[in-house]
Amino acid sequence: MTRYFLLFTALLFIAACDGGNGNDNDVDTIVTCEHDGITYPVGAMITIACNLCTCIYDGSFVCDALYCDDDIAQTDQTDLPDSSDTTPTDTDFPDDTIDDALIVDTDTVIECIDGTIDDGDCGYPNGKQIRNCVDGKWGEWSECLDINKAVIDITAASTCADYYWADRGDAPLAYTTGMGLVFAGAFCHIDRSDVATVAAAKTTDTEHDALAWYEEIFADLSMDNSVDGADTLRHAYTLLLGLGMRESSGEHCCGRDQSADNVTADTAEAGLFQTSYNSHNFSDELDTLYAHWKILYNMAFPVACLLDIFSEDVYCSAADWENYGTGEGVIFQEMEKSCPTFAAEYAAFMLRVSGGSLGHYGPLRRHEAEVRPECDAMFGEIQALIEANPYYCRFLPNY
């Protein structure tokens, strides 16, 4: 079952940054979920029909299957056999204690509910394995799965990781690996509203849509973005990877561009993609996405942020960690640096609503963010890995 663990270690790092710009808006949208007439906040966990369900930011519940004790009435302790009893038979259970329909034979009771999936830890540090309930019994455990290791193996062996980015040099492997995991999360949730926007076919709006603005560059690389779906999502993340290298050299804790004068809470840029808080003006979906991740972030740096992945062998100065102004914009700056998953998902959506010739990001306006087909191929391998084993989505550390 997916769980969020707490990460309490703060690390310090260094980065070189570029600038961006945007508009101001302080609208804040909070989404809730409803079940049986009761409203729950985002992040709330409840049990629904023997499933542990979490309210997510789009107003729906995401559920993991659980064993349901309620399906078998519990006996009073005085009814249980003592150590001198032999193997129980029907006579060991009072007629009103257990439903005869749940008894497979004279000494076997159903172990689980058909269709239920159980998971457990295994060999790798993040290893998981699953078993299915069939005919009231648990099946064999699957092979040990580790999505972290699988993605790290793909990214480390990719030619994308070896590419020398123009004016920036080699990317930190932490950045390439982290972006691989963020893409995996997006692909696993391609129907989620924000991801669906990123994966939508290119528009004709070159002023705001990065895929429209970069149309000729994508066409020269035979990367077609005319159809909704995984290919367009992958190409958007390929451009996003290049944007992060241009804006921050792939260093998650990058502070604002010290040569710029954008020092207010709303305009100070931060993080991998040098995004500022006033960018949320471009879509209500950005407010919703920010509200969702703000809840997760307040759970003491959850694993979902992938900070441990993005920060490996990366160092930032005290100046990079400094935030500017007061109010909500300061929280946004902090999250952009300390929660790279949020920074990447937010910027991916920004590509489609403010990534064009008049958009938020200078490197996109100037066509300086590189689109590398070897990085598209890397994301393609991650996509194929998940398609071959959908259980990877269940064990993603960022979801």
Q: C-alpha distances in angstroms, 124 versus 129, 181, 259? A: 10, 17, 45
Q: What is the structure's pLDDT at 98?
A: 36
Tokens 């290049």 belong to which residue?
A: 242
Q: What is the structure's pLDDT at 371?
A: 98
Q: What is the structure's pLDDT at 204?
A: 98
Helices (H), the chain: 147-157, 159-162, 173-188, 193-198, 210-213, 215-220, 230-248, 284-297, 307-310, 318-321, 328-338, 340-354, 362-365, 373-388, 391-394
Q: What is the structure's pLDDT at 264?
A: 92
> Which residues span the domain enclosing 228?
147-394
The answer to the question of residue 194 being in a domain is yes
The answer to the question of residue 3 being in a domain is no
166-191 per-position pLDDT tens digit:
999 999 999 999 999 999 999 999 99
Q: What is the structure's pLDDT at 94?
A: 38
- CA-angle at 189, arms to 66 and 391, nearest 5°: 45
Q: Is the pTM of this model over 0.75?
A: no
- The whole-number mean pLDDT for each consecutive block of 10 residues of the chain, a chain of 399 residues, reads 34 40 41 77 70 74 55 36 41 39 45 88 85 92 88 96 96 97 96 97 98 98 98 98 97 81 88 97 96 87 88 91 93 96 98 98 98 98 93 83
Could you tell me what percent of the chain has a pLDDT over 70?
Answer: 76
The answer to the question of residue 218 being in a domain is yes
The answer to the question of residue 39 being in a domain is no
What whole-number distance in Å separates Cα of residue 12 and Cα of residue 306? 15
The answer to the question of residue 109 being in a domain is no
The answer to the question of residue 201 being in a domain is yes
The answer to the question of residue 104 being in a domain is no
240, 355 contact by CB (below 8 A): no
Q: What is the structure's pLDDT at 9?
A: 33
Domains contained in the chain, number: 1
126-164 per-position pLDDT tens digit:
889 999 999 989 999 988 888 889 999 999 999 999 999
The answer to the question of residue 108 being in a domain is no
